Amino acid sequence: MFENIDTPAVLIDQIRVEANMKRLQDYCNAHGIRLRPHIKTHKLPGTALQQIKCGAVGVTCQKVGEAEIMAEGGVGDILITYNIIGKSKVERVRALNDRIDLAVVADSDFVVSGLSNVLQNSTKPLTVLVECDTGMRRCGVQTIEAAMQLAKDIDAAAGLRFGGLMSYPPTGRISEVNTWLDEAKSLILTNGIECPVVSCGNSPDLELWHKAPVVTEHRAGTYIYCDRNMILQGVATEDDCALIVLVTVVSTPTKTRAVIDAGSKALTSDLSLKPGYGLIIGHPGLDISALSEEHGHITSDLPHRLQVGQRLRIIPNHVCPVSNLFDKVHFVRGEKYDQPVSVAARGALT
Ligand SMILES: Cc1ncc(COP(=O)(O)O)c(C=O)c1O
């Protein structure tokens, strides 16, 4: 199948993409949650527009560069969930804010004053949400009092408008996250500041966010393709996985070892809950046990029976960084070829 595609290659089954998109949109609609999917997983403006057409209120980006590419592709409502630091980046944010509905986040005074310095004379204020650490231990203010203080600072800063709270939550701790954000929101309201948005969500807890009533906005990203991590977390099946890496066996040096043409530069070195660097579809006894840059080592306790030239399909451990490694992906519909698509926002790291 797809013999004309040189490997390693990324195939994306649009039938599965559409099903995953609809599944989460239906869930959000049923629970009155606004969906703002994270584009870090696909990095494709066309897919972002499809998500919006399906009912998403806009998208989430991690980087200004990603947001610029999404806006160029026609996306009109973007949240950048990253502290933006440095005058030149903030100037790009200001230019983007003039063109589309934009919001960013901040977790310190430093970030807020950097934004305000550039936006202070703008005719259109920039919406800023306070990033809260509800247990992930990445960025975010550490206490509800700090969230309230930063909300006040944003509210008072020239050129800025306080937009609400944002958190990237720890997996499986919905109720704890809800309590944190609910208390922070109440404190902010008590201080006379509106808090219209509470943005949260992830794929491991994909259909659990209705149990956190304070959350108004779901930002799942990985759900659009799913991956081995999601399978091992019990929130997706092999049949939900829309992105696979098509590879070729290039060597069978021993009866228990075969080598494929996909190493860390195609599959990434990301690990999962079980050993191995991906799931080889249709070969449950085989394991991708080691990677070098351009070689993947498949090992087995029994003779593997793989042959040089044979093609295999691999579900990556973590699908998002795989999208960042390929200039183009191939859209398919089941076993039918559709079209190649450039990954417009790959490498947009600034
Ligand atoms: C800020 C932010 N929001 C949303 C997401 C999406 O989470 P997931 O990949 O679990 O769908 C991520 C993932 O890294 C993130 O960093």
Expressed in angstroms and rounded, the spacing between residue 220 Cα and the centre of ligand 1 is 6
For range 132-160, the mean pLDDT? 98
Expressed in angstroms and rounded, the spacing between residue 223 Cα and the centre of ligand 1 is 10
Given a cut of 90, whether residue 280 has pLDDT beyond it is yes
Q: What DSSP element (H or E) covers 68?
A: helix 64-72
Given a cut of 90, whether residue 348 has pLDDT beyond it is yes
Q: Where are the domains of the chain?
A: 33-224, 229-342
Token readout for 320 is 């998002």
Closest Cα to atom 4 of ligand 1: 219
- Atom of ligand 1 minimally distant from the CA of 201: 4
37-48 residue pLDDT tens = 999 999 999 999
* pLDDT score, position 321: 97
- Atom of ligand 1 minimally distant from the CA of 320: 9
* pLDDT score, position 1: 74
Kindly state the percentage of the chain with pLDDT values over 70: 100
Q: Name every residue whose Cβ is closer than 8 Å to that of residue 97 and which is 6 or more positions away in sequence.
A: 119, 122, 124, 126
Ligand 1 site, CB within 6 A:
38, 60, 81, 168, 202-204, 219-223
3-state helix, strand, coil in the chain (%, to 5): 30, 25, 40
For 8, the 3-state DSSP assignment is: coil
Of 212, 115, 104, residue with least CA distance to 166: 104
- Separation between Cα atoms, residue 60 and residue 11, nearest integer Å: 24
Bridge-based pairing of strands 328-333 and 336-342 is antiparallel
Q: CA 277, 280, 281, 284: dihedral to nearest 10 degrees?
A: -110
Of 238, 143, 129, 275, residue with least CA distance to 193: 129
* pLDDT score, position 27: 98
Between the alpha carbon of residue 43 and those of residues 109, 112, 313, 319, 345, the distances in Å are 30, 27, 22, 12, 5
- Atom of ligand 1 minimally distant from the CA of 219: 4
For range 59-88, the mean pLDDT? 98
Token readout for 275 is 């050993």
Expressed in angstroms and rounded, the spacing between residue 296 Cα and the centre of ligand 1 is 27
In total, the chain counts a number of residues equal to: 350
- Separation between Cα atoms, residue 313 and residue 210, nearest integer Å: 35
Q: Name every residue whose Cβ is closer than 8 Å to that of residue 38 and which is 6 or more positions away in sequence.
A: 59, 60, 61, 62, 81, 219, 220, 221
Expressed in angstroms and rounded, the spacing between residue 348 Cα and the centre of ligand 1 is 17
Q: In the CATH scheme, what is the code of domain 229-342?
A: 2.40.37.20
Angle between helices 109-119 and 144-156 (to 10 degrees): 10
Q: Name every residue whose Cβ is closer than 8 Å to that of residue 67 and which is 6 or more positions away in sequence.
A: 61, 78, 80, 96, 102
Please, which pLDDT band fits residue 106 given cuts at 50, 70 and 90?
Answer: very high
- Separation between Cα atoms, residue 234 and residue 227, nearest integer Å: 11
Token readout for 115 is 């934004």
Kindly state the percentage of the chain with pLDDT values over 90: 98
Given a cut of 90, whether residue 196 has pLDDT beyond it is yes
- 171 touches 206 (CB < 8 A): no
For 78, phi then psi, to 5°, come to -135, 135
With the most atoms of ligand 1 within 8 angstroms of its CB, the residue from 79, 202, 317 to mutate is 202
Please, which pLDDT band fits residue 192 given cuts at 50, 70 and 90?
Answer: very high
Mean per-residue pLDDT of the chain? 97
Q: Which amino acid is at 255?
A: K
Please, which pLDDT band fits residue 264 given cuts at 50, 70 and 90?
Answer: very high
For range 266-275, the mean pLDDT? 96
* pLDDT score, position 158: 98
- Separation between Cα atoms, residue 167 and residue 140, nearest integer Å: 7
For range 325-334, the mean pLDDT? 98
7-26 residue pLDDT tens = 999 999 999 999 999 999 99
For range 256-261, the mean pLDDT? 97
Strand partners, 222: none
For range 158-181, the mean pLDDT? 98
- Atom of ligand 1 minimally distant from the CA of 220: 11
Token readout for 37 is 């999917």
Expressed in angstroms and rounded, the spacing between residue 219 Cα and the centre of ligand 1 is 7
- Separation between Cα atoms, residue 320 and residue 159, nearest integer Å: 34
Q: In the CATH scheme, what is the code of domain 33-224?
A: 3.20.20.10
CA 160, 78, 192 angle in degrees (round to 5)?
35
